[in-house]
Amino acid sequence: MYPVDLSGKKGIILGVANDHSIAWAMASILSQAGARLALTYQGDRLKERVTRLAGTLDGALVLPCDATDDQQIADLFDQVGDAFGDISFMVHSIAYANREDLTRPFSETGREGFRIALEISAYSLLPLVRHSAKLMTQGGSVVTMTFQASQRVFPGYNVMGTAKAALEHEVRQLAAEYGDRNIRVNAISAGPVDTLSARGIQGFTDMKRQHAKTAPLQRNIKVEEVAKTALFLCSDLSSGITGSIIHVDAGYHIMAV
C-alpha cells in the first residue's frame, strides 16, 4: 500500500488480458489506493478471465471494448457514465500487430498489417480520450503505454515501433488540446516485461537480458514499477505533468553502449 489516496476517484482501464498484463498491475495498485475501476476486455474469449480478476477488486465494473469498434467504445462510455457519473483517469494499455509483421523484414509489412497495428495501437487513443474527456468534468489524467522502439530500432518490433512513434506524438497533441480542461495526457515508456504481447516479439528474452546488462540500474524493471508510475500519474501528485513520456526502464534509454 502506497500513501496515495484515490478514494472517491473512478476510472477506466483498457488492456487486461490476464494477470501478467501491465494493465492488471495498474488495476491492482489503483484499486488498493481506493479508486473504483471499470475494466474492459477485448472479445468474449477474454471475458471470463477478466471478470474473474475484476472480482478480486472492490466494486469493479467489467465491460467489453474492442478498440476497432466505435459502437463498443460509445457503449463503454455510456455505461461507465451511468454507473460512475464522472471519471478522473483513463488508462490505455493496448497494442496489437499481426505476428507475421513482427517476424519478417520491416519493409515487407503489408498495407493491411500496417493499418491494423496503427489503428489499434495508436489511433485508438483518440476516440478513447474524446469520450473520456466528456466524463472528466473535474479534469483528469490519461495514461498510455509506449516502448523505446518509438525512437530507436529494436529488431522484431518493426511496425510496432512505428505505431509507438505515432502514439507518442498523439500524447503531445492531445496534451496540448485538452490542457485547458485540466486533462493531462502522458505515456509510460516501459522496459521489457514478460506479458502475452511481449511473447510475440522475436528475441524478446535476449533483449531482456541485454537491457539488464546495459541499464544503469543493472536489472530489468518489475511490472509493479510501471504500476506505481501509473498511480503517480493518475493522482494529484503529478498535477503539473502533461505531454510527457516517462521512462520506467531502469535508465536503459540514456545509454549509448
- Residues recognised as catalytic: 157, 164
The helix (H) or strand (E) run that includes residue 243 is: none
**Residue 15, interface with ligand NAD (CB under 6 A)?**
yes
Q: Which of 93, 162, 220, 242 binds ligand NAD (CB under 6 A)?
A: 93
Interface of this chain with ligand NAD, residues 138 to 177, rule: CB under 6 A: 145-147
Q: Three-class SS of residue 213?
A: helix
Residue 194, number of CB atoms within 10 A of its CB:
12
The answer to whether the beta carbons of residues 16 and 53 sit under 8 Å apart is yes
- Verify binding: residue 22, ligand NAD, rule CB under 6 A: yes
Binder among 61, 67, 90, 117 for ligand NAD (CB under 6 A): 67
Binders of ligand NAD: how many residues, by CB under 6 A? 28
Dist CA 142 CA 52 (whole Å): 25
With CB under 6 A as the contact rule, the residue among 53, 143, 187, 193 that binds ligand NAD is 193
Whether the CB-CB separation of 2 and 28 falls below 8 Å is answered with: no
Instruction: Tell me the window of 4-12, 13-21, 51-59, 233-241 that interacts with ligand NAD (CB under 6 A).
Output: 13-21
Cβ neighbours of residue 33 closer than 8 Å, sequence gap 6 or more:
1, 2, 4, 5, 6, 231, 235
> Using the rule CB under 6 A, is 197 a contact of ligand NAD?
yes
Please give the Cα distance from 118 to 165 (Å, whole number): 10
Closest to ligand NAD by CB, 134 vs 199, is 199
Rule CB under 6 A: say whether 190 interacts with ligand NAD. Answer: yes
Output b/e per residue, 157-170; b: 16+ Cβ within 10 A.
Answer: bbbbbbbbeebbeb
> Does 94 sit near ligand NAD (CB under 6 A)?
yes
Q: Of 233-252, which residues contact ligand NAD (CB under 6 A)?
A: none
Q: Are 226 and 190 in contact (CB under 8 A)?
A: yes
Overall size of the chain counted in residues = 257
Min CB(44)–ligand NAD separation in Å: 12
- Of 9-17, 81-89, 134-142, 233-241, the segment contacting ligand NAD by CB under 6 A is 9-17
Binding residues (CB under 6 A) for ligand NAD: these are: 14-17, 21-23, 42, 46, 65-68, 93-96, 120, 145-147, 190, 192-193, 195-198
